[in-house]
């Protein structure tokens, strides 16, 4: 017998909880177990399962997937509300440029708020 057991109903789904972008120097970084060579730039998506019950939503880590950085690879843009293609695309190089720009803008804002004395 389980303590305080009750029947529940709800909905569950998988979502991306975190994105880790690895941008090692050439020849550095994680090593492939298959080839013994450095993996190179990649992006890891950590997933979680969310379970919505009547009164709360529970989450737990449930997996991950990753992609290697291929500058010419094309990404089809999806509408997050519908998951349908928007008809737009972007290359991984364009995404890299956008994320690089976000990093530099964020670092400069931090530095401006905390000038070195």
Residue 84: strand, helix, or coil? coil
Q: Are residues 91 and 56 in the same domain?
A: no
pLDDT, tens digit, 9 for 90 and up, residues 68-111: 999 999 999 999 999 999 999 999 999 999 999 999 999 999 99
Instruction: Report the pLDDT value the prediction gives residue 59, as an integer from 0 to 100.
Output: 97
Domain residue limits at 102: 70-117
Q: Are residues 26 and 48 in the same domain?
A: yes
Q: Are residues 31 and 88 in the same domain?
A: no
Half-sphere exposure of 97 (CA within 13 A, CB side): 7
Farthest-apart Cα atoms in the chain, separation: 65
Instruction: Report the pLDDT value the prediction gives residue 86, as an integer from 0 to 100.
Output: 98
Instruction: Report the pLDDT value the prediction gives residue 102, as an integer from 0 to 100.
Output: 97
Number of domains in the chain: 2
Q: Are residues 30 and 65 in the same domain?
A: yes
Q: Are residues 39 and 86 in the same domain?
A: no
Alpha helices in the chain (DSSP H): 92-113
Q: Which residue has better confidence, 63 or 115?
A: 63
Q: Are residues 11 and 39 in the same domain?
A: yes
Mean pLDDT for the chain overall:
93
């Amino acid at each position: 017998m389980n303590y305080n057991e009750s029947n529940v109903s709800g909905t569950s789904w998988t979502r991306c909880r975190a994105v880790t972008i690895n941008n090692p120097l050439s020849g550095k970084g994680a090593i492939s177990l298959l080839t013994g060579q450095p993996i190179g730039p990649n992006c890891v998506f950590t997933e979680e399962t969310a379970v919505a019950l009547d009164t709360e939503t529970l989450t737990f880590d449930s997996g991950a997937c990753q992609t290697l950085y291929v500058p010419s690879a094309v990404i089809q843009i999806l509408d997050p509300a519908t998951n349908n293609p928007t008809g737009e695309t972007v290359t991984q190089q364009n995404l890299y440029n956008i994320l690089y720009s976000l990093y530099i803008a964020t670092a400069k804002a931090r530095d401006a708020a905390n000038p070195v004395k």
